[in-house]
């Protein structure tokens, strides 16, 4: 990532500081701040676990979707990803309208004329560090839940009740809502039980402070799912790959 930034290779600067390995990026089509990795992946090389056959999937064959791909759905557990090919650009198409990027750029005193790939990457890193726990210090799997997409009718219904609810209109007329906002609004932000809970700065992140079992984290996520459904009439989905 930082190597690409240093060479002015554009396309993944909004994904800066997402934890994990390159091979995991296509599995759930990682994304952040209006960018998804599917936009720059050309192919994914795999080994078929059942017989060791080498298979290469092009972009369309991966069937990328919001935080999803065939490696998380129909082909789950069938392939081991060994390489990912990316196509980046020397001509940047800056995407700074999603989330707090513009605000952070302003705080960094970056003007429109000074905008660059590195400036955006630095802003994204600052935002993530300010509200997300370092996995080297606090056990976590990053964002645990997907941002739900609802119909315009459902959005209007909720917006009339919650004027401060963030929402992003999609090309098909639907609206993407912020799962973190919903979870925080339902009172879960900062929730702690024994040695695990919901991060105090970002309600999307479930944390293990040390010694908690996966079953406990899963059960907590179940409670949150039921809570959001009861309060907002929205069925959240887990973003993490549960096995």
What pLDDT, on a 0 to 100 scale, did the predictor assign at position 77?
A: 93
Active-site residues, by number, are: 67, 143, 239
C-beta of residue 68 within 8 angstroms of C-beta of residue 31: no
C-beta of residue 196 within 8 angstroms of C-beta of residue 207: yes
Q: Which domains does the chain have, with CATH numbers?
A: 1-131 (3.30.465.10), 139-232 (3.90.78.10)
Q: CA-CA distance, 53 to 185, in Å (whole number)?
A: 48
What pLDDT, on a 0 to 100 scale, did the predictor assign at position 240?
A: 85
What pLDDT, on a 0 to 100 scale, did the predictor assign at position 222?
A: 97
First to last CA, the chain: 28
What's CA 72's distance to the chain center, in Å?
Answer: 15
Residue-wise pLDDT tens digits, 55-80: 999 999 999 999 999 999 999 999 99
pLDDT band at 135 (very low <50, low <70, confident <90, very high): confident
- Quote the pTM value: 0.80
What pLDDT, on a 0 to 100 scale, did the predictor assign at position 220?
A: 97
Q: CA-CA distance, 12 to 30, in Å (whole number)?
A: 11
Edge-to-edge strand list for the sheet holding 167-169 = 149-150, 175-177, 167-169
Mean pLDDT of the chain: 94
What pLDDT, on a 0 to 100 scale, did the predictor assign at position 213?
A: 94
């Amino acid at each position: 990532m930082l190597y690409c930034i240093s060479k002015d290779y554009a396309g993944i600067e909004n994904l800066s500081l997402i934890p994990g390995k390159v091979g995991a990026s296509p599995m759930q089509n990682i994304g952040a701040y209006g960018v998804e990795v599917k936009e720059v992946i050309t192919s994914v090389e795999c080994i078929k676990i059942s017989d060791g056959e080498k298979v290469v999937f092009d972009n369309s064959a991966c069937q990328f979707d919001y935080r999803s791909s065939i490696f998380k759905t129909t082909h789950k557990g069938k392939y081991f990803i060994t390489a990912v090919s990316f196509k980046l650009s020397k001509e940047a198409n800056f995407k700074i309208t999603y989330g707090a990027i513009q605000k952070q750029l302003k705080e960094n005193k970056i003007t429109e004329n000074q905008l660059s790939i590195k400036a955006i990457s630095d802003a994204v890193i600052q935002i993530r560090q300010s509200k997300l726990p370092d996995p080297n210090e606090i056990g976590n799997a990053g964002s645990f839940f997907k941002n739900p997409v609802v119909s315009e009718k459902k959005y209007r219904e909720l917006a009339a009740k919650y004027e401060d609810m963030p929402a992003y209109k999609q090309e098909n007329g639907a609206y993407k809502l912020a799962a973190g906002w919903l979870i925080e609004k339902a009172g879960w932000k900062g929730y702690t039980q024994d040695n695990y809970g919901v991060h105090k700065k970002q309600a999307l992140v479930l944390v293990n402070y040390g010694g908690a079992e996966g079953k406990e984290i899963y059960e907590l996520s179940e409670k949150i799912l039921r809570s959001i459904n009861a309060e907002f009439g929205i069925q959240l989905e887990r973003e993490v790959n549960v096995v």
